[in-house]
Amino acid sequence: MINLIFLGPPGVGKGTQAKMVSDRYSIPQISTGDMLRAAVKEGTDLGKEAKTYMDAGELVPDRIVIGLIAEKIESGDCVNGFILDGFPRTIAQAEELDRILNEKKIELTKVVSVSAPDEELIKRLSGRRTCSSCGEVFHLVFNPPTNDGKCDKCGGDLFQRDDDKEETIRERLRVYKEQTEPLINYYKSKGLLADIDGAQNIDAVFDNICSLIGPKG
């Protein structure tokens, strides 16, 4: 079993890397951001509550995301391991995760901490465009779609996430530093932390992460 947490600021490429690692090692990527966006799209009560926080660049209350994660871990989707992408984001979430994993006698393998300078993160996030049909992610400069505004994969319309607008990006970075960065020391003191330089290109970051995890079992 490979049980990973991907930690890092918005725009560092956590989601991209989590997806690549998920494909390589055949373990599910569990993204609380994706789960919340799906709930917003479906218009559920949970989605409606989450949306106000997300649009403002704030964190959704712990009880909501902890509920989503607990359900996922209970569901049996994670019998071969998991990659938590974007969870935990507060010390309270990390402590609750510890409790859930202890109860199930599941051990974390590593916490992969990916970092990059703020200016790089802002540049990446403000150019990000997402497909409204299949969720594929593009970048106006680094990974532009072949046809303007259209997804290469499915032809769907590309849009800019509300929380990828510059003002919200700055708030998300502030929230990250205040509430999520303390997790770096939390996991360092448990001997689980591995630092990765996220300012490198996508393939170099991926190689670094794979050499940490080791060969495919």
Give contact residues for ligand AMP (rule: CB under 6 A): 10, 32-33, 36, 53-54, 57-60, 65, 86-89, 93, 163, 172
99 assigned to active site: no
Which of 84, 117, 116, 89 lies closest to 101, judged by CA? 84
**Nearer Cβ to ligand AMP (58/120):** 58
Residue that the structure tokens 């409606």 belong to: 48
Cis peptide bond N-terminal to 9, omega within 30: no
- Rounded to the nearest whole angstrom, what is the least distance from the CB of residue 179 to ligand AMP in the complex? 9
Q: Enumerate residues 6+ apart whose C-beta is below 8 A from 165.
A: 126
Residue from 123, 150, 161, 188 carrying the catalytic annotation: 161
- Are 26 and 2 in contact, with CB atoms under 8 Å apart? no
- Rounded to the nearest whole angstrom, what is the least distance from the CB of residue 147 to ligand AMP in the complex? 25
- Going across the sheet that includes 2-7, the strands are 29-31, 81-85, 2-7, 110-115, 193-197
- Rounded to the nearest whole angstrom, what is the least distance from the CB of residue 217 to ligand AMP in the complex? 27
Closest residue to ligand AMP using C-beta atoms: 33
**Nearer Cβ to ligand AMP (89/129):** 89
**Sign of dihedral through CA atoms 161, 194, 142, 24?**
negative
- Rounded to the nearest whole angstrom, what is the least distance from the CB of residue 162 to ligand AMP in the complex? 10
**Nearer Cβ to ligand AMP (63/155):** 63
Question: Which residues are part of the catalytic machinery?
Answer: 14, 89, 128, 161, 172
